[in-house]
Each structure stands twice: as structure tokens, then as C-alpha cells.
């Protein structure tokens, strides 16, 4: 359950006692903080952490059940934030989202990870190499996690943009836009962008509160006021991501509309061709039907050149109809 657990004092890591209460007391006495990383804990496993750190039951329930929207909740003894890291698989064109829950309190940080798209190990390693940032306490951990998640959003947005440009080129390439699987590919891509938007869109409000901008200028408990510029930077990056996501959503909708228009035009062309050939077939059918009625009083039947004349007339009419349809673009 516990992936990593350490005490950080003056920006440096040290291994604390195995007992969580003793480790927390040691961290507070030294003026540092304790960081515990958990991976998909069960309710029984998480009870010990809940009891030792006094975590709010509603936040604990969210951390255990997962499937939460990005949000920021403030409780009496801790701060609770939910982030959704995403992973994009170019081979299958799928976006999958994990979840990271962060509890920030007085001298402790508890992170709970669900799924595979959480860069917490890399975040911890980076912080341990930057003591000047780690010395700022639990706020530094919250900032570093948010920054890593949002920066990866930018990478995913870039990969989606590249793949969407390839899909766009395939749709508008002559002779390939009518593939029966094209609409399915576009719709699948649209679903992936929607999944991406669910991770990035709701995160704007929590980061705005942490940055103290707009109507959320009040200080957030357990977060150092000096960290506001850092969260503003993360919020700016997230704004860029959300703009990219909106642009991708509009572009993929336009591509789908263009593809459907192409299909409609192609169907109309096919119908015109069918109608032209049907009209050309109707002329000899009509003439043959007239001469198939076995009338006696048809003078041309007794004329020596009547048969070749009828054939020549039919051919001339067919040529005339073909040229007319060709001129109008029906054939």
C-alpha cells in the first residue's frame, strides 16, 4: 500500500520511524514535514492513515472510491485536492486518465494514486534534487505535483494535435475520404478529446483558488502565500492546455462535418450517374417496346432500310444523351 514514506527537514530527506505517529511527531519537532505515498489503498489499509492524520471522512471516501472530478476542498485539518493525470497511446489513439489525491495538512502530505498515469515518483525525485524548493514544505509538494500533471497535459495536447493533423490529411486526401472506417476514426478521436477535456477543464477553478486570482483572492489554508506566483504559472500553462483542447474539439468537429459533406456529395454524384445511365437505357427500351407490340399497320416495317435506320437513330440518340450528361458533369 505505502509506495514511499519519508521525513523532509530543511529540504533534505531522512527515513523516519515505522510508526506513523512517531514519524509525524518527529517531523513537526524538526520543523519539517512527512510525505506518504499510497497506491490504490483499500479501506482497511487507509484507516490507519486516516486515524493518524485526522483526515476528513468525506475526503477519505473520495480518495478510496476515486472517479472524482478535479477539485479543491478545504477542511479544518487539511486541504484535499484531486488531479487527473492523462496518458495518450498513439498506437491505439486512446486517452486514459488516472487520479491523484493530495492531502495537505500541518507538517504532512498524503498522496493517493489510482491508475498508471501519475508521475509521483518523478516528482519526488525532482524535489529531492531541489532542496531550495523542498524547504518550502507541503506547499512545494502540492505545487510540484500540479506542475508535473499540467506540463504533461501540454505534451498530450501536442501529440493529439499531431495525430489530428494526420487524420485531417487522410480525410481530405483524394480517394481516401470515403473509407467506411473514417467516420468511426473521427468519432473515436472526438471521444478521446472529450476524455482529455474532463481532466483539464475542471482543474482551472482549483488552480485559480491556489493562485489567488480573480474572485478567489483569499488565502488558502495550509498553502504558503509566497507560493501564489508558482501556482499562477501552473494556471497559465493550464489555460494554454484548455485553449488547445477547445481548438482540437472544434477542429475534429469540422473534420467530421467535412467528411460527412464529402460522403453526401459522393452519394449525389453516384445517384446522378445512375440516373444518367438509366435515362440512356430508357430510350432503346421505349423504342423496342413500341416495335414489340406487333401492329400490322406500321409502314416502315415493309421498308428495306427500316431496321438499320432505327439502329442508327438509337445510336445517335444515345450519343447525344451521353454528350449532354458528360457536359453537365453527370458522367
Q: What is the CATH number of the domain that holds 137?
A: 3.30.460.20
Q: 7 and 118, same structural domain? A: yes
Going 259 to 263 to 265 to 269, the CA torsion angle's sign is positive
Domain boundary among 209, 229, 263: 263
The closest of 98, 96, 94 to 83, measured between CA atoms, is 98
Euclidean distance between CA atoms 39 and 51, whole angstroms: 18
Q: 250 and 286, same structural domain? A: no
Domain boundary among 217, 243, 263: 263
Q: What average pLDDT values come out for the chain (331 residues) when binned by 10 residues? A: 85 82 86 90 87 90 89 92 89 84 92 78 89 90 94 91 84 63 81 91 92 70 87 94 92 83 74 81 79 70 75 83 78 69
Q: 304 and 245, same structural domain? A: no
Q: 163 and 58, same structural domain? A: yes
SS3 92: coil
Q: 156 and 137, same structural domain? A: yes
Domain total for the chain? Answer: 2
Domain boundary among 235, 263, 291: 263
Which pLDDT does position 329 carry in this prediction?
75
Q: 123 and 62, same structural domain? A: yes
DSSP-assigned states of every residue in 135-199: TTTHHHHHHHHHHHHHHHHHHHHHHHHHHHHHHHHHHHSTTTTT-TTHHHHHHHHHHHHHHHHHH
Q: Domain range for residue 179?
A: 2-263
- Domain containing residue 315: CATH number: 1.20.58.340
Q: 311 and 219, same structural domain? A: no
Close Cβ partners of 248 (under 8 Å, ≥ 6 residues apart): 157, 160, 161, 164, 193
Q: 171 and 292, same structural domain? A: no
- Name the residue with cell 489567488: 212
Which pLDDT does position 217 carry in this prediction?
58
The closest of 185, 157, 150 to 171, measured between CA atoms, is 185
Which pLDDT does position 256 carry in this prediction?
82
Q: 50 and 166, same structural domain? A: yes
Per the document, the length of the chain is 331
Identify whether the C-beta of residue 221 lies closer than 8 Å to the C-beta of residue 185. Answer: no
pTM for this one?
A: 0.78
Euclidean distance between CA atoms 262 and 170, whole angstroms: 13
The closest of 209, 199, 234 to 80, measured between CA atoms, is 209
SS3 220: coil
Which pLDDT does position 151 carry in this prediction?
93
Q: 303 and 237, same structural domain? A: no
Q: Which residues on adjacent β-strands are paired with residue 174?
A: none
Amino acid at each position: 500500500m505505502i509506495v514511499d514514506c519519508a521525513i523532509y527537514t530543511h529540504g533534505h530527506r531522512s527515513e523516519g520511524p515505522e510508526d506513523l505517529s512517531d514519524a509525524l511527531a518527529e517531523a513537526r519537532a524538526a520543523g519539517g514535514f512527512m510525505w506518504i505515498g499510497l497506491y490504490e489503498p483499500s479501506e482497511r489499509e487507509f484507516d490507519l492513515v486516516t486515524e493518524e492524520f485526522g483526515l476528513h471522512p468525506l475526503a477519505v471516501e473520495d480518495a478510496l472510491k476515486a472517479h472524482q472530478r478535479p477539485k479543491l476542498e478545504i477542511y479544518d485539518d487539511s486541504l484535499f485536492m484531486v488531479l487527473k493525470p492523462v496518458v495518450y497511446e498513439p498506437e491505439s489513439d486512446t486517452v486514459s486518465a488516472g487520479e491523484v489525491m493530495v492531502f495537505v495538512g500541518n507538517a504532512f502530505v498524503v498522496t493517493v494514486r489510482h491508475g498508471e498515469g501519475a508521475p509521483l515518483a518523478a516528482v519526488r525525485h525532482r524535489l529531492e534534487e531541489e532542496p531550495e524548493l523542498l524547504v518550502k514544505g507541503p506547499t512545494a509538494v502540492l505545487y510540484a505535483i500540479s506542475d508535473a500533471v499540467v506540463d504533461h497535459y501540454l505534451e498530450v495536447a501536442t501529440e493529439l494535435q499531431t495525430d489530428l493533423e494526420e487524420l485531417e490529411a487522410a480525410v481530405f486526401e483524394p480517394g481516401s475520404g470515403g473509407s467506411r472506417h473514417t467516420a468511426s476514426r473521427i468519432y473515436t478521436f472526438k471521444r478521446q478529446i472529450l476524455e482529455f477535456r474532463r481532466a483539464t477543464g475542471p482543474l482551472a477553478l482549483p488552480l485559480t483558488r491556489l493562485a489567488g486570482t480573480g474572485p478567489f483572492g483569499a488565502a488558502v489554508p495550509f498553502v504558503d502565500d509566497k507560493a501564489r506566483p508558482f501556482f499562477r504559472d501552473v494556471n497559465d500553462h493550464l489555460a494554454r492546455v484548455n485553449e488547445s483542447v477547445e481548438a482540437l474539439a472544434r477542429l475534429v468537429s469540422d473534420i467530421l462535418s467535412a467528411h460527412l459533406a464529402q460522403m453526401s456529395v459522393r452519394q449525389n454524384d453516384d445517384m446522378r450517374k445512375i440516373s444518367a445511365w438509366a435515362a440512356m437505357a430508357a430510350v432503346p427500351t421505349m423504342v423496342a417496346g413500341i416495335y414489340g407490340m406487333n401492329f400490322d399497320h406500321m409502314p416502315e416495317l415493309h421498308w428495306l432500310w427500316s431496321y438499320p435506320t432505327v439502329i442508327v437513330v438509337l445510336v445517335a440518340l444515345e450519343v447525344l444523351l451521353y454528350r449532354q450528361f458528360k457536359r453537365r458533369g453527370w458522367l
